[in-house]
Structures are given as structure tokens and as C-alpha cells.
Amino acid sequence: MAKIEPKNGKYDLKGSKDTDLEGIDDKKYDVFTDTAETNEKLTQARDAYPDYTWFASYTIKDKQGNDVRTLDKEYTIELDQLPSEKSELYYFLDGKAHKFSHQPGENKQGKKRIKAKLDIGDPPSGFYP
């Protein structure tokens, strides 16, 4: 697991959808990520929902190193636009995919983006179809 340092208030997770997190209080929390190939949570999501495209997984911990299930306020997840207007955004938690809404985001280096709000501390994220 690699710790991500915020830059200008954003945590750049990179990955296939160039995922960024913003609005996480870096005085209270740290953000960590693994590679897609070695992340157990992504593997569980892919096994449970193989037709979905799972692209990012991260863990938010408090400064004492404890996993945070739910943050005290929402943060923004921003990523490259989904492949079609029919695609829906999901996070995987407790063995189930949970749909969450998104809206247009800021363009980044000429790419259209979407953004959504979450308060969950460790969800793999994906989309379907």
C-alpha cells in the first residue's frame, strides 16, 4: 500500500480513469492506494461483479493508522468521463455494488471528467456497462 501525498488539496490516484480525490482533511486523514493487480478489494469486486469495470481502490486512514469506514464529511471523487451515457458509477462495499450519482466535472488536459461525492473510507470504484 502506497501513501498518496496531496497536491493543491487533491490526491492523484492515477489509474485507468485518472482518478482524483479532493476535500479530504489531510490533518485528520491519510490516503493510500495499491496497484490494481495486487489489491484484494478490487479482486473481490471483480469476482462478485465480473461484468463491471473496476478501476480504482484506495483506503483512507486516520492519523493513528486506523481504517476509516465513514468520514465526517463528504469528499469529491473525480475521474475521466465514463464510456457511454448509459454507464453508471458504483462503489463496492460489504460484498455489494452500490450505485452513486455523478455530474460533469472540470476538463483535465483536454479530457472530459465527471465528479461525485462520497463519505466512504475504502471503496473500490467501478462502472457498468
Confidence (pLDDT) at 126? 94
Confidence (pLDDT) at 36? 53
Q: Write the DSSP symbol of residue 48.
A: H
Sequential pLDDT tens for the chain (129 residues): 889 999 999 999 988 899 999 999 999 999 998 755 457 888 999 999 999 999 888 999 999 999 999 999 999 999 999 999 899 999 999 999 999 999 999 888 889 999 999 999 988 999 999
Contact (CB, 8 A) for 10 and 26: no
Q: Residue 4 has which C-alpha cell? A: 498518496
Confidence (pLDDT) at 98? 97
pTM of the model as a whole: 0.90
CB under 8 Å to 12, separation ≥6 — which residues?
4, 20
Q: How far apart are CA 15 and CA 65, in angstroms?
A: 24
Can you list the domains of the chain with their CATH numbers? 2-128 (2.60.220)
